Structure 1
Amino acid sequence: MGFSDHPVLIFDGACGTNLQQMTIPDEAWAGCDGCNEVLNLHGPEFIIRLHQSMLDAGAMVLETDTFGASSVVLAEYGLQDRVKEINRRAVELARTAIAGKTGKYVAGSVGPGTKLPSLGHISVADLARSTREQVEALLEAGVDCLMIETCQDLLQTKTAMISVFEVLASAKLELPVLVSVTIEQQGTMLVGSDIAAVIATLEPFDLFSLGLNCATGPQDMASHVRSLSHHWPKRISVIPNQGLPEVVNGETAYPLSPVDFAGQMYNFVTKLGVSIVGGCCGTSPAHIKALCEKLVGAVPGKREVSR
């Protein structure tokens, strides 16, 4: 059974917040504290440990530690010339983790970067160039799919889509492309677009799936997931935080227990036809384990899509 054949695909949990729980020595950061992607080069054992913990929990798809591995983000750490090296190494580490295991896949993670074109932080041309460079490296390293995630700006998202499909066409490759947008608690993307605008803008692209991740927990995503269920014709992904972030004793905390997280996700699958699930910020291997156990035998609910 290939990647596209599974009725429900279960992605892994959080990268950053789980790495924060590890005791990682200073030398592994190589003077780039906060740059998780540099660990692919100088602390690979921690990335493999993270991947293995998610596989042990039952995850089917591992996302590469490349969320911020574009030249735009890496330039903040003086690493802009190491884009290909970091992305290729990240894919190698994920491949090492799933070696010998069947039904496991590697998704190339592409984040939104730290500069949004709609806010004038970066030109469309520069963003496209940076995206193409990262995607080319991920494809050369042999990912099974691309996850363009945490999209906060429709112009950024559309630019990424055009860039991704140009690279795929140039390489004569067909690969599943998944897009995941972030809807803030107020009900829109960071720059103000609602889910209807997202659907209308992205429908012309040959996407494998469209969905939501980050910003909030599953409860605050419910109305947007319903909109996708009724108006998006292809697969839907839902990869929430471990609830809405809270500040407890001066630190960020996430409230949902593994059982509560899994229960809400189960409803998305069985009632709204969601077929790609996983966890974003805060979600631990325990959350993914509970999710996998809850979804044993679950089938995505039937959807009636109006366009």
Structure 2
Amino acid sequence: MAKYRNDLPQMKGGLFLSDGGMETTLIFHDGVELPHFASFVLLDSAEGRARLKGYYEKYLDIARRRGTGFVLDSATWRANPDWGAKLGYGAEALKAINVGSIRLLEELRDAWEAPETPLVVSGAIGPRGDGYKAGNMDAREAEAYHAAQIASFAEAGADMVAAYTLTNIDEAIGIARAAKKLGMPCMISFTVETDGRLVTGKTLKEAIETTDRETGAYPLYYMINCAHPSHFAPALAAGEQWLQRVAGVKANASAKSHAELDNSETLDPGDPADLGRRYSALTRSFPTMRILGGCCGTDHRHIAAICQACLPN
């Protein structure tokens, strides 16, 4: 049963953490083979589920020691029909995966939650296609496409759904509309190129304002993920109204472009301390940015550095 669906604690203020780059950590640090960058395949075995628990627990330990809340995103960024088909998962198998991902997070919440560390269970959604390329679905098609995964999260008892690494505004609109129909709180996160714009050329301002206009401002908040702060910070202008809708960041460790990262056979972990300082600057300039995590190349060391930079000792 959903614990916070109707009263999400991250909406009440205070700093919340999230995890780092799940797939890059599992592949490059843990030596796990993830076909098509799909971490959801680990949910199909006891060994895989144990590995995922161990992954999350490194972050939950930081949150417990720092006394912060935490948004637990499921390992389901690729668990949609197109990517599932590439891996031999049909509709029923994908539903079992999506439901099972929430069950695993509920087990973690039972073990780790404390009054000063509320843990929000979030069903993670990725784009239909490649997170670094522009999709071509219209909003109606996107709504129908993503509805099954959102329905699985709703049935399983997730508190909310979170759509990451979106490049197509219509896909964001469709996800938000599907979430609204299913009564699920949702978050939308866009990714940008090194020029601070979506791969389509649209600005973050256009993406957020258009999504809000077409959905009655249904998303609870927005985030920016899968880009280095040096890519998007120049696109943020203090005082602009749309930035009040941006509540968090999950940045890449590396300042390399998406094309460079896509073609790299090694991991660029960047500089955790530098990333922490960049987050500190963002949170000082934009106080609404209170949900802090990482994306490609980041791990628990980066989240610890972000805490060190952004939280009083």
TM-score, structure 2 as length reference: 0.81
Contact 1:68 1:111 in 2 (8 A): yes
> Are 1:11 and 2:18 counterparts?
yes
SS for the counterpart of 1:233 is helix
How far residue 87 of structure 1 moved from its aligned partner, in angstroms, is: 0.6
Structure 1 residues 78 and 227: CA distance shift in structure 2, 3 A: farther
> Are 1:259 and 2:273 counterparts?
yes
How far residue 281 of structure 1 moved from its aligned partner, in angstroms, is: 0.5
% identical aligned pairs = 21
For 2:208 and 2:140, locate their aligned partners in 1 and report how far apart those are by CA, in whole Å. Answer: 24
Counterpart of 2:57? 52
How far residue 213 of structure 1 moved from its aligned partner, in angstroms, is: 0.6
Counterpart of 1:305? none
Give a deviation string over 1:203-258, Cα, whole Å, max 9, x none: 232222112110x21122202333685533334221110022367x9624325222
Give a deviation string over 1:16-46, Cα, whole Å, max 9, x none: 011112144x7xx7xx564321111122111
Counterpart of 2:5? none
Contact 1:179 1:209 in 2 (8 A): yes
5+ residue gaps, structure 1, are 299-307
SS for the counterpart of 1:160 is helix
Q: In the comparison of the two structures, how many residue pairs are matched? A: 284
For 1:220 and 1:236, locate their aligned partners in 2 and report how far apart those are by CA, in whole Å. Answer: 18
Structure 1 residues 110 and 285: CA distance shift in structure 2, 3 A: same
**What is the identity, as a one-letter code, of the residue corresponding to 2:296?**
C
Contact 2:40 2:78 in 1 (8 A): yes
For 1:250 and 1:9, locate their aligned partners in 2 and report how far apart those are by CA, in whole Å. Answer: 31
Contact 1:70 1:83 in 2 (8 A): yes
Contact 1:229 1:236 in 2 (8 A): no
Counterpart of 1:36? 39
Structure 1 residues 147 and 163: CA distance shift in structure 2, 3 A: same
**What is the identity, as a one-letter code, of the residue corresponding to 1:13?**
G
For 2:14 and 2:249, locate their aligned partners in 1 and report how far apart those are by CA, in whole Å. Answer: 14
How far residue 119 of structure 1 moved from its aligned partner, in angstroms, is: 6.5
> Are 1:220 and 2:231 counterparts?
yes
Structure 1 residues 34 and 110: CA distance shift in structure 2, 3 A: closer
**What is the identity, as a one-letter code, of the residue corresponding to 1:56?**
D
RMSD: 2.7
For 1:294 and 1:33, locate their aligned partners in 2 and report how far apart those are by CA, in whole Å. Answer: 34
Work out which of the residue numbers 76, 86, 90 in structure 1 matches 2:101.
Answer: 90
> Are 1:275 and 2:290 counterparts?
yes
Contact 1:13 1:288 in 2 (8 A): yes
Structure 1 residues 229 and 19: CA distance shift in structure 2, 3 A: farther
TM-score, structure 1 as length reference: 0.83
**What is the identity, as a one-letter code, of the residue corresponding to 1:213?**
N
Counterpart of 1:147? 162
**What is the identity, as a one-letter code, of the residue corresponding to 2:232?**
M
Q: Comparing 289-298 with 276-285, which one deviates more in the overlay?
A: 289-298
Work out which of the residue numbers 267, 274, 289 in structure 1 matches 2:304.
Answer: 289
Work out which of the residue numbers 12, 16, 30 in structure 2 matches 1:22.
Answer: 30
Counterpart of 1:209? 221
Contact 1:212 1:240 in 2 (8 A): yes
Counterpart of 2:202? 193
For 2:84 and 2:192, locate their aligned partners in 1 and report how far apart those are by CA, in whole Å. Answer: 25
How far residue 135 of structure 1 moved from its aligned partner, in angstroms, is: 0.4
How far residue 128 of structure 1 moved from its aligned partner, in angstroms, is: 2.4
> Are 1:132 and 2:147 counterparts?
yes
Contact 1:14 1:284 in 2 (8 A): yes
For 1:194 and 1:12, locate their aligned partners in 2 and report how far apart those are by CA, in whole Å. Answer: 26
Give a deviation string over 1:42-100, Cα, whole Å, max 9, x none: 22111111111221232712210010111122111120321210011111112222323
